[in-house]
Amino acid sequence: MLGGISGRHRSPVKGSSLEFAQYRKYVPGDDTRRLDWRTWGRTDRYYLKEFEADTNLRLCFIVDTSGSMNYGKEGGKTRLDYARSLAGTLAYLATNQGDAVGLMNTSPESAMKEIPAKRGPVHLKVLLDQIGIMEANGESELISTIHAAAEKIPQRALIVIVSDLLFEPEPLREALQHLRFRKHDVVLFHLLDREEIDFQFDRPTRFLDLEGGPSLLADPSLIQRRYREAVETYLGQIDEIVNQSALDYHRVMLDEPYDQVLARFLLGRNPKTARSAR
Amino acid sequence: MSFLQPILLIGLPLALLPVIIHLINQHRHRTVKWAAMMFLLDAKKLTKGIDRLRQFLILAMRVLAVAALIFAASRPLAGGFMAGAGGNADTILVLLDRSASMEEQNLETGESKRSSALAKISELLQKTSSRSEVVLIDSATLEPTKVTDLKLLESLPQAAATATGANVPALLQAGVDYLATNASGRTDIWIASDLRNDDWRTASGNWQSIRADLASNETVRLFLLTYEQRSPNNLAVSVTNVNRRRTPSGYELAMDLTIKRTSPSGENDDALNLPVEFTINGTRTLQSLTVAGDEFVRLGYTVKLGAGDERGWGRIDLPADNNPSDNQAYFVYDEPPVRKTIIVSDDQTTASTIATAASTPVDPSTRYEAKTISPGDSAQIPWDETALLIWQAAIPGEESAEAALLRQHLEKGRTLILLPPPDTNSSEGNALFGNQWDTWADRTNTPASASWWRTESGLLENTRNGTPLPVGKLRFFKTRSFSGELHPILKLEDETVVIAKVLTETKGSLYFWGTLPRTDHSTLATEGISFFIMTHRSLAEGANSVSKARMLDTGPSALVGKMEKIETSESESGLISVGLVPGAFKNESDAENQLLVALNRPVTEDNPETLNSGAIESLLEGVEYRRISDEVGSGSSLAAEIWRAFLVAMALALLAEAILCLPPRPETKPETKPI
């Protein structure tokens, strides 16, 4: 991670830390203090010993606050609650590591649409408060918010997107590529409910659009097959987009405990544990 | 459609249960907040055509399955009866044609048309109408008989074979009368008949009232069970005009012998050598006759009589064929009676003309007598000896003794001719059998001639060789009209009926002649051939009943008094319906006064012509009826239970529903990342 201060995150830049990175032949101009004299003694050649540079993290959350994020079992947690849990926990962890944390939500009606990334517990409180009070309504503005984030965030940052992605997937491809173009490290938490995928209803149901569209009365037994086909096609498109965009994609079912999801994510971020985590 | 358990059809609305459940299911939908509307909209768009049809078919299959189950449980019946019947009637009237022609058999099964019809109706009614009152009316007796046990319908004496003719309009009228006099409720009338033209009597005046009665009665349904097919190569024998004649060598019988031959195709070109058995007083002789064409007619066929056979009986037998009822003809013979004519008239001219004609012998071996009596001396009429009574006097009052004697004369089978009395030109007067004289018409200035006369039967029938009588030469100067229920025999150009036969239920014949054999009334006397023949035909009609050897048509009132069959086979003993079966009979008087009677089926029964559909339509115009054409020995049933078919239909419907409910085969797609 490319940070302004020394921290706990590996940086693409080699620096001073305890983590050995590689040997490199000496070229004129290199700091002679970094020559590995033991190697010179064995081989009679000059090598530099390079170490991973640890730096701080600029973490920015983009939380989808469209109406569809209000989806959830009656009396249970909504998709937005799940997103809050993920974002809040990660923000807390990052702040404790000394990382800067920022937040963007997609709701055009939100009073505080964007919180720039900063460090410190005071900022964390502000951010958590904002996460706690944000509400989901209206249609999704995620695409425009991603484009805006790509433009606004000046340095390489870890951008964590939490959304249900319930819109036509094609514009998402461009938005994610925009982020990648700006060298951001992108993590996408795709929140879905099993009911939305399996569509297990046993009698006619009136479906009320959480994003304010017209309601729809349907006999699930009549449309179940076509619905599942549509879901399958959609997920296929999402898979293709995330593969092309080379981002860290996590499809999360709402019935999964979020700590497991986070553990899987964090283990995946550690190079030493990434292989086993994935 | 008819059902054995129609009560279960109450459950038929249950067939709509799948639809109701579907609608309730649609109505009690739940509401959920939903995020993934994009998939729903996509699915909805794609689920419009085939899938909707599939769902509709699934629903239809479920409805069909339930309906089929209910129908099967109700035990439906199929057959010719099916389309018209709809549940049990309160009364079932079975009108059975018991005529001789109904005895045509299918030689393979031994069933006759009559027995086949009875068996099928019985089977049907046992299945469908076990709680209905079943009444049998047969054409021979026209008496209603309540059938208490349908299994015994075939074995009822009232349904047994007869050699009678049938009068179908009278049979139907008896049925209609039964309905009128009994609270029969909803009634099904079943007519079992072979549709013979002569039995259905299309010219009968009864048809109009029958049509009106049936058409106006909405609780009556009419079913015709018909057997119109003809037996192949059937032969029928009949004998008429049997006369004993004296010859130099003894006695001989002269008879008119007819053998009719029918085939389905109507083509009988090949000659047929036929062994015909003659039995006279129990002695059998076999003779070979050659039948070419459709009919063998031998007028005056003679058979020698042996010594001691001066009077007696005889029988002619043909070899067995499809119809056993027309293979025999019985005859009886005796010394020919005197053919006596009595003329009751004060008009000497008329009386002498008639007497001259009536006493002129036609057959030299028969004596003819004619006597004139004044109307005031009618007590002198020898009623027992009179074959023909000519009455030129006022018709006696209905309650008078003379009227009673006239009716009795007709009941005995004698002939009565009413000539116009020379009274005033008045239409008021007494009636006999509802018929009376009307007014005179004077045609002296423009004499009228006959424009139509009945040539196929009756007094003016063509001669035996088919030559018509010279009726057209007759001229009529004075005629007197008459009114009533009449069967016209001769009409003038202005449609005035001059000669007619009155339709009575008596054995004898009653004629109205609307003119006199006088030169100032007509040329009957001067152009005397027609008049002579009419007189002698009338006389011959009445003479048979005067004879001690009478040949009669079978019928319930054919035999009067205590008669016994001369030759009785074992199978007939105890089961003979008196007057309905053919045979030779005698009464128990002493030998000299013993009456011999030969009963034969009416010759009209040998006429194979049947009514076509158009004629039936015309006869029953305005009456809703259903016709079921059956064949003897066809083995088909009027009502077969078809619940199995409905169970199969239900199974097929459920199978179709299951197939329609199967999930579609998943399309092969490239592997995607598991969810």
Position B574 pLDDT exceeds 50:
no
Looking at chain B, which residue has its C-alpha nearest residue A238?
B673
Q: Are B627 and B577 found together in one domain? A: no
Tell me the nearest-neighbour CA distance from B645 into chain A, angstroms. 32
pLDDT value of residue B532: 94
Say if the Cβ atoms of B35 and A164 lie within 8 Å.
yes
pLDDT tens string B169-197: 999 999 999 988 887 788 889 999 999 99
Cα B465 from chain centre: 29
Within a domain: B314: yes
Interface check A71 vs B, CB under 8 A: yes
Within a domain: B174: yes
Position A1 pLDDT exceeds 50:
no
User: In 3D, which of B28, B36, B52, B26 has the Cα closest to residue A198?
Assistant: B36
Number of domains present in the structure of chain B: 4
Model confidence at A175, in pLDDT bands (50, 70, 90)?
Answer: very high
Position A108 pLDDT exceeds 70:
no
Q: Are B387 and B479 found together in one domain? A: yes
Tell me the nearest-neighbour CA distance from B675 into chain A, angstroms. 8
A239 neighbourhood in chain B, CB within 8 Å: 672-673
A204 neighbourhood in chain B, CB within 8 Å: 25-26, 28-29
Interface check A152 vs B, CB under 8 A: no
- How far is it, in rounded angstroms, from Cα A165 to Cα A178? 17
Position B86 pLDDT exceeds 60:
no
Model confidence at B575, in pLDDT bands (50, 70, 90)?
Answer: very low
Last residue within a domain, chosen from B543, B564, B588 = B543
Within a domain: B186: yes
Position B320 pLDDT exceeds 50:
yes
Domain parsing of chain A, residue ranges: 9-55, 58-193+249-277
- pTM (2 d.p.): 0.58
B35 neighbourhood in chain A, CB within 8 Å: 67-71, 79, 164, 166, 196, 210-211
A216 neighbourhood in chain B, CB within 8 Å: 37, 40-41, 44
Cα angle for residues B385, B391, B396 (degrees, 5° grid): 105
Position B674 pLDDT exceeds 80:
no
pLDDT value of residue B82: 47
> What average pLDDT is seen over chain B?
85
Within a domain: B170: yes
Tell me the nearest-neighbour CA distance from A179 into chain B, angstroms. 24
Q: Are B513 and B583 found together in one domain? A: no
Measured CA to CA in angstroms, residue A83 lies from A116, A161, A162, A252, B128 at distances of 19, 9, 6, 10, 76
Model confidence at B576, in pLDDT bands (50, 70, 90)?
Answer: low
- State mean pLDDT over B36-54: 80
pLDDT tens string B108-130: 888 899 999 998 888 888 877 77
Position A192 pLDDT exceeds 90:
yes
Say if the Cβ atoms of B26 and A207 lie within 8 Å.
no
B675 neighbourhood in chain A, CB within 8 Å: 197, 235, 251
Say if the Cβ atoms of B44 and A68 lie within 8 Å.
no
Nearest to B672 among A67, A230, A235 (CB): A235
For domain A58-193+249-277, the CATH class is alpha beta
Mapping DSSP to helix (H, G, I), strand (E, B) and coil, where does residue B303 land?
strand
Position A275 pLDDT exceeds 60:
no
Give just the sign of the alpha carbon dihedral B53, B56, B61, B62. Answer: positive
Q: Are B202 and B292 found together in one domain? A: no
Determine what percent of chain A is predicted with pLDDT higher than 90: 32
Model confidence at A226, in pLDDT bands (50, 70, 90)?
Answer: confident
Q: Are B393 and B525 found together in one domain? A: yes
Tell me the nearest-neighbour CA distance from A32 into chain B, angstroms. 51
Q: Are B455 and B522 found together in one domain? A: yes
Mutate to test the interface with A, among B22, B25, B34, B669 (most CBs of A within 10 A): B34
pLDDT value of residue B265: 61
- Of B5-9, B40-44, B266-270, which gets the smallest average pLDDT? B266-270
Within a domain: B85: no
Interface check A251 vs B, CB under 8 A: yes
Position B256 pLDDT exceeds 50:
yes
Beta-bridged to residue B448, according to DSSP, are B476
pLDDT tens string B127-163: 777 778 899 999 998 999 999 888 888 888 889 888 8
C-alpha torsion angle, residues A65, A68, A74, A80 (rounded to 10)? -20
Determine what percent of chain B is predicted with pLDDT higher than 70: 91
A68 neighbourhood in chain B, CB within 8 Å: 35-36
Say if the Cβ atoms of A70 and B35 lie within 8 Å.
yes
User: In 3D, which of B162, B194, B326 has the Cα closest to residue B260?
Assistant: B326
Say if the Cβ atoms of B37 and A213 lie within 8 Å.
yes
> What average pLDDT is seen over chain A?
83
User: In 3D, which of A153, A152, A149, A61 has the Cα closest to residue A102?
Assistant: A61
The answer to whether residues A3 and A57 touch, using CB atoms and an 8 Å cutoff, is: yes
- How far is it, in rounded angstroms, from Cα B196 to Cα B609? 6
Which is more confident, A112 or B205? B205
Position A120 pLDDT exceeds 70:
yes
Within a domain: B365: yes
Last residue within a domain, chosen from B511, B528, B543 = B543
Q: Are B387 and B293 found together in one domain? A: no
Mutate to test the interface with B, among A225, A242, A278 (most CBs of B within 10 A): A225
Position A193 pLDDT exceeds 60:
yes
Model confidence at B546, in pLDDT bands (50, 70, 90)?
Answer: confident
B47 neighbourhood in chain A, CB within 8 Å: 222-223, 226
Position B557 pLDDT exceeds 80:
no
B46 neighbourhood in chain A, CB within 8 Å: 226, 229-230
- State mean pLDDT over B281-295: 87
Residues of B with CB under 8 A from a CB of A: 25-26, 28-44, 46-47, 51-52, 55, 663-664, 669, 672-673, 675
Q: Are B392 and B486 found together in one domain? A: yes
pLDDT tens string B191-245: 999 999 989 988 888 898 999 988 888 888 898 999 988 877 788 999 988 888 8
Position A276 pLDDT exceeds 60:
no
Domain assignment of residue B19, given as a range: 2-78+647-661
Within a domain: B516: yes
Model confidence at A34, in pLDDT bands (50, 70, 90)?
Answer: confident
Q: Are strands B640-641 and B625-629 parallel, antiparallel or unpaired?
A: unpaired
Determine what percent of chain A is predicted with pLDDT higher than 70: 85
Which is more confident, A181 or A203? A181
B669 neighbourhood in chain A, CB within 8 Å: 232
Indicate which CATH number applies to the domain containing B181: 3.40.50.410
Determine what percent of chain B is predicted with pLDDT higher than 90: 34
Looking at chain B, which residue has its C-alpha nearest residue A66?
B35
pLDDT value of residue B217: 85
Q: Are B122 and B109 found together in one domain? A: yes
A197 neighbourhood in chain B, CB within 8 Å: 675
- State mean pLDDT over B65-73: 92
Within a domain: B494: yes
Interface check A133 vs B, CB under 8 A: no
pLDDT value of residue B433: 82
pLDDT tens string B383-418: 888 999 999 988 888 888 888 999 999 988 899 999
Q: Are B282 and B249 found together in one domain? A: yes
Model confidence at B653, in pLDDT bands (50, 70, 90)?
Answer: very high
A205 neighbourhood in chain B, CB within 8 Å: 29-32
Q: Are B190 and B132 found together in one domain? A: yes
Say if the Cβ atoms of A231 and B41 lie within 8 Å.
no
Contacts of B177 (CB under 8 A, 6+ apart): none
Q: Are B318 and B347 found together in one domain? A: no
